[in-house]
Amino acid sequence: MEPNSLNPALYITGLGSQYPPYLLSAEDLDKFASRFHDVSRPGIKKLLQVNRSTGIETRSAVRPYEAGFATQKDPPSISEIDQFFRQAGVDLAVQACQKALTEGHVSPQQITHTIAVTCTNQGNPGYDFLVARKLNLPLHVDRMLLHGVGCAGGLSILKAAAQIAGGASLRRKPARILAFACELCTPDVRHYLSIAERSPDSDQVNIAAVLFSDAAARFCSLQ
């Protein structure tokens, strides 16, 4: 079908994903929790019970439980987590983007828009700026960063990309969109464990620490 302003032709031309090098098991988290916390307390006891019941064999991680934040006496600060994301998270994102660009036969200089999503980093400038810089995208690229949409992030960037491409079509402009998501959840595990240890109510425990992990994914869309 020939594209026109009322019926733009939209295509996803390339996909890419990137996982970090480490895999953590449920048993690894049990041992890690015992190293720093009183696992007999009701909150953390419930959390570790859920950990053993999820059926998740392994979760990808940017670091093992024997390095980095996992070796510190106190949980990392927000600033430390932010700095770490801006290195490890950005590197994951860049690798996934490069895969999507290669598969889509699109050069970085052809990208007109980027759409990024994360709920595990809130630093400024947004991590999308750092990814764009490492990829050597054009300085005039239009950037959009979606924060706090959680598990709806994938659908959110698809919707945003379609809307941007449709708008560009109405203005008879090209749209070559690089959309990406990156989440690093394991650096926050110390905080989740500390909160669970202090919680007197086992029914109010946040189970994110035993469900989510670290990875990045991207797609390249053309209009």
Q: What is the pLDDT of residue 125?
A: 93
Residue 6 is assigned to a structural domain of this protein: no
Residue 176 is assigned to a structural domain of this protein: yes
**How far apart are alpha carbons 13 and 15 in whole angstroms?**
7
Structural domains counted in the chain? 1
Most confident of 7-16, 34-43, 126-135, 205-214: 126-135
- CA distances to 88, 116, 153, 183 from 214, rounded to whole Å, are 10, 16, 15, 6
Is the bond leading into 125 cis (omega within 30 degrees of zero)? yes
> Hey, how many other C-beta atoms are within 10 angstroms of the C-beta on 59?
21
| pLDDT surpassing 70 at residue 32 | yes
**How far apart are alpha carbons 127 and 87 in whole angstroms?**
10
Query: pLDDT confidence of 200, banded at 50, 70, 90?
Result: confident
| pLDDT surpassing 50 at residue 1 | no
Residue 151 annotated to the active site: yes
Could you tell me the residue range of the domain that residue 137 belongs to? 11-222
More confidently predicted of 202 and 126: 126
The mean of the pLDDT values for the chain is: 90
Q: What is the pLDDT of residue 3?
A: 47
| pLDDT surpassing 90 at residue 2 | no
Residue 110 is assigned to a structural domain of this protein: yes
| pLDDT surpassing 50 at residue 67 | yes
Residue 92 is assigned to a structural domain of this protein: yes
Residue 134 is assigned to a structural domain of this protein: yes
Query: pLDDT confidence of 4, banded at 50, 70, 90?
Result: low
| pLDDT surpassing 80 at residue 221 | no
More confidently predicted of 11 and 217: 217
Please state, for a pLDDT cut of 90, what percent of the chain lies above it. 72
Q: What is the pLDDT of residues 76-116, one digit of tens each?
A: 999 999 999 999 999 999 999 999 999 999 999 999 999 99
Tell me which of 31-40, 128-137, 154-163, 167-176 is least confident. Answer: 167-176
Residue 1 is assigned to a structural domain of this protein: no
Catalytic residue among 151, 182, 185, 220: 151
Q: What is the pLDDT of residues 151-195, one digit of tens each?
A: 898 899 999 999 998 888 888 888 999 999 999 999 999 999 999
Residue 4 is assigned to a structural domain of this protein: no
| pLDDT surpassing 80 at residue 220 | no
Residue 163, classified by CB atoms within 10 Å of its CB into exposed (0-12), middle (13-18) or buried (19+), is exposed
The CATH code of the domain that includes 203 is: 3.40.47.10
| pLDDT surpassing 90 at residue 22 | yes
